[in-house]
Structure 1
């Protein structure tokens, strides 16, 4: 029996990664005289991996990683004007208007009428709260959880708090690594909604063959899938 549905936020309900890619392109242009584009992207990704434990997920950590990489690849010679532009780019990301993905509002509205729907996202608290407020979806959710990491234990705690346990819950998101696999490990259904752009640090192999794993092209197909999981039907 399904009672609770968790939704990821970034790149599931609204655009996010595309803004990181645009800012990354700006970073590459600013440092083009110091290293090749591919090398700059590799160094930036390495810095992000290295800094996750210190800064967590989100724009602020990304901005600090850009600055750190700029200092490293220029051997400390990066100009103050370039640092200022990187800071400004990060600030622009924090102020960018929200762009809902197709079917997001209709799907959440439809399912909220029959199930407990919970927003489960990770990242910077203030930024995620800002995006949720601007999205216009906030009033539809029965609960909001902004966590540092999405793990099986985190999902068990959240679905116990907001629902009737992980085994009667579903997690929906674009990241196999964060949204789907740990939810399946917790005993929930895991629904993957692939996004055209996925951060390299969120890459993972799909759990093919798992009876509670599903893939949908977009959020528009979620209500039909949920309907098929009702008691008396195949799950």
Structure 2
């Protein structure tokens, strides 16, 4: 069966707009707070915090709210409940700051989306807290470019299969653009689709935890937004081949 790319999906965080840097700043401020109570050098703090966040994903989901609750839990556990109410309040403030950060688009991303939209139907597929993601989409000024916007709790084969089913499109006719091999590329390729991988300069350890290789023949890697349209065209040629 010969496939033709009909639908292109775009990730949101760290593909269209900057995001992970704000979370990294939040973790750094968290370390400063907790460091007043314990010796961080002996704690393996990054590993313990990541373990807490991973454990809580199924309960709290992704995003700033889940991160904040995990920071509070980790702070209480790490300090043996010695952390003050004032410092717990500071941690809540860290989460609020992440929730309210400005939406800054990656260089050239609007032009890249417009170029792809001139040839294909496009859909925004982003995961995280519904309220926060809706806020980001609205603030980005990009919503009018997409045929549809999907905010999902998890990006896995099931989620992509549902989206493709609602469009009535086979996975072989779908390409996904994103910065995460784990969430944006691997599940789509597993379904028989295609990927444009655009790495971001910093990646959350949870998203980096994958054995999927970017060298897959179903993936084209680009270094910036200006390479996206050409990469999608290249995938179109590969589907025909």
The alignment partner of 2:213 has SS state of coil
| Alignment correspondent of 1:50 | 55
> What is the CA RMSD across the aligned residues, in angstroms?
1.7
| Residues 8-50 of structure 1 deviation map (CA, whole Å, 9 limit, x = unaligned) | 0001111110000001000000111213166222221111011
| Alignment correspondent of 2:40 | 36
The alignment partner of 1:78 has SS state of coil
The alignment partner of 1:190 has SS state of strand
Say whether residues 1:169 and 2:180 are aligned partners.
Answer: no
TM-score, normalization by structure 1: 0.94
Asked whether the equivalents of residues 228 and 234 of structure 1 are also in contact (C-alpha less than 8 Å), the reply is: no
Say whether residues 1:220 and 2:226 are aligned partners.
Answer: yes
Change (3 A) 1:114 1:24: same
1:119 paired residue among 119, 124, 147 = 124
Give the superposition deviation at 1:148: 1.2
Asked whether the equivalents of residues 59 and 94 of structure 1 are also in contact (C-alpha less than 8 Å), the reply is: yes
The alignment partner of 2:93 has SS state of helix
Give the superposition deviation at 1:93: 0.8
Give the superposition deviation at 1:208: 5.2
Asked whether the equivalents of residues 218 and 235 of structure 2 are also in contact (C-alpha less than 8 Å), the reply is: no
Change (3 A) 1:30 1:231: closer
Q: Distance in 1 between matches of 2:83 and 2:168?
A: 51
Change (3 A) 1:96 1:163: farther
Change (3 A) 1:152 1:233: closer
Change (3 A) 1:231 1:208: closer
| Alignment correspondent of 1:11 | 14
Asked whether the equivalents of residues 207 and 213 of structure 1 are also in contact (C-alpha less than 8 Å), the reply is: no
Q: How does 1:189-204 map to 2 (within 5 A)?
A: 189-203=194-208, 204=210
Asked whether the equivalents of residues 118 and 141 of structure 1 are also in contact (C-alpha less than 8 Å), the reply is: yes
The alignment partner of 1:117 has SS state of strand
Aligned length: 235
| Alignment correspondent of 1:104 | 109
The alignment partner of 2:9 has SS state of strand
User: Structure 2, unaligned stretches of length 5 or more?
Assistant: none
TM-score, normalization by structure 2: 0.92
User: Structure 1, unaligned stretches of length 5 or more?
Assistant: none
The alignment partner of 1:118 has SS state of strand
| Residues 144-199 of structure 1 deviation map (CA, whole Å, 9 limit, x = unaligned) | 11111111222122123235222101011110001000000111101211111100
The alignment partner of 1:172 has SS state of strand
